[in-house]
Amino acid sequence: MNADVREKLFQQAKEWVMDAGTTIRTKIDDPLKVDTKSNPNDLVTTMDKETEAFFAGKIRENYPDHYILSEEGFGDELSSMDGTIWIIDPIDGTMNFVHQKRNFAISVGVYHDGIGEIGLIYDVMEDVLYSAQRTKGAYKNGEKIPQLDTSVPLKEAILSLNHFWLCENRLVNEKEMQRLVKTVRGTRTYGSAALEFAYTAEGIVDGYLTMSLAPWDIAAGMVIVHEVGGATITTDGEPINMLTKNSVFTSNSSVQREILDDFLIKGKK
């Protein structure tokens, strides 16, 4: 994508993200209609749907030749990553949104012919915007985020993960995961994949590992982490397929190599 086109899109996307965030903050104490989707803990609210409808309306009006990949049904059915695709999670961390009214984010990634060009993750209640454009670095509220430290020893690392490795399709070896948890300095679970990517990019956690995420959970985060020198792969060390669900492991390269070789791959042998 041409840099000028991308800059224009970035400014536009940012404006819509901030507008959507303001609306959510204004309505945060309004009565909420909460429904469930795939299971009783998979929540969706009218706010998720209204926010996605807002983005879809703006994109369809201003960029009729762009595509949308999104969680709540306002997007397109896509079978390829060709063209310009907005990958949107209107509220990532809906359980936090419902129970805590904080610790959730709007996540918007823009990909062109399969390449992540723009990433925006907005922590709505903290009013903190993580942003990146390909090759232009990552920013937190406009301040450049430094490149990730690749010298963090695993025993001093903090990993973000959730307990789903206990049950999800046995993608990883349970004993190896327990050994990993005991090896690192600490683990955290924040309940918003987008924020966990943002924290990885910021270097306040050293990686985020989880067993099943959708494209909209990770699209923006992948661009932002990439811009600070980190990488995102599956727990098998394979590239992410942006058209399906994936196991996901994002971190700086040294921690990633070590965890992949010594815990994830080894656990499969």
Q: Is 52 in the site for ligand IPD (CB under 6 A)?
A: no
User: Residue 132's CB: how many other CB atoms inside 10 A?
Assistant: 28
Q: Is 213 in the site for ligand IPD (CB under 6 A)?
A: yes
Contact 230, 201 (CB under 8 A): yes
Q: Is 101 in the site for ligand IPD (CB under 6 A)?
A: no
Interactions with ligand IPD, residue window 161-200 (CB under 6 A): 162, 191-193
Cβ 142 to Ca ion, closest distance in Å? 25
191 binds, among Ca ion, ligand IPD, none (CB under 5 to 8 A by kind): ligand IPD
Q: Which is nearer to Ca ion, 89 or 206 (CB)?
A: 89
Q: Which of 9, 59, 89, 133 binds Ca ion (CB under 5 A)?
A: 89
Measured CA to CA in angstroms, residue 13 lies from 54, 94, 175, 192, 257 at distances of: 12, 21, 43, 21, 34
Q: Is 133 in the site for ligand IPD (CB under 6 A)?
A: no
Task: For residue 148, give the DSSP letter.
Answer: P
Cβ 44 to ligand IPD, closest distance in Å? 8
Q: Is 196 in the site for Ca ion (CB under 5 A)?
A: no
Helices 215-227, 193-202: crossing angle, 10 deg rounding: 10
Task: For residue 264, give the DSSP letter.
Answer: I
DSSP strands (E only) in 5-141: 34-36, 43-45, 67-70, 84-92, 105-112, 115-123, 128-133, 138-140
Contact 70, 91 (CB under 8 A): no
- Stretch 63-92: interaction string toward ligand IPD, x if CB under 6 A: --------------------------x--x
Q: Which is nearer to ligand IPD, 51 or 210 (CB)?
A: 210
Closest-approach residue to ligand IPD (CB): 193
* # chain residues binding ligand IPD, by CB under 6 A: 11
Q: Which is nearer to ligand IPD, 84 or 160 (CB)?
A: 160
Interactions with Ca ion, residue window 209-248 (CB under 5 A): 217
213 binds, among ligand IPD, Ca ion, none (CB under 5 to 8 A by kind): ligand IPD
The two beta strands, 158-161 and 186-188, are: parallel
Residues 6 or more apart whose CB falls under 8 angstroms from that of 77 comprise: none
202 binds, among ligand IPD, Ca ion, none (CB under 5 to 8 A by kind): none
Instruction: Provide the Cα torsion 231, 159, 104, 53; round to 10°.
Output: 30
- Residues at the site binding ligand IPD, with contacts judged by CB under 6 A: 89, 92-94, 162, 191-193, 210, 213, 217
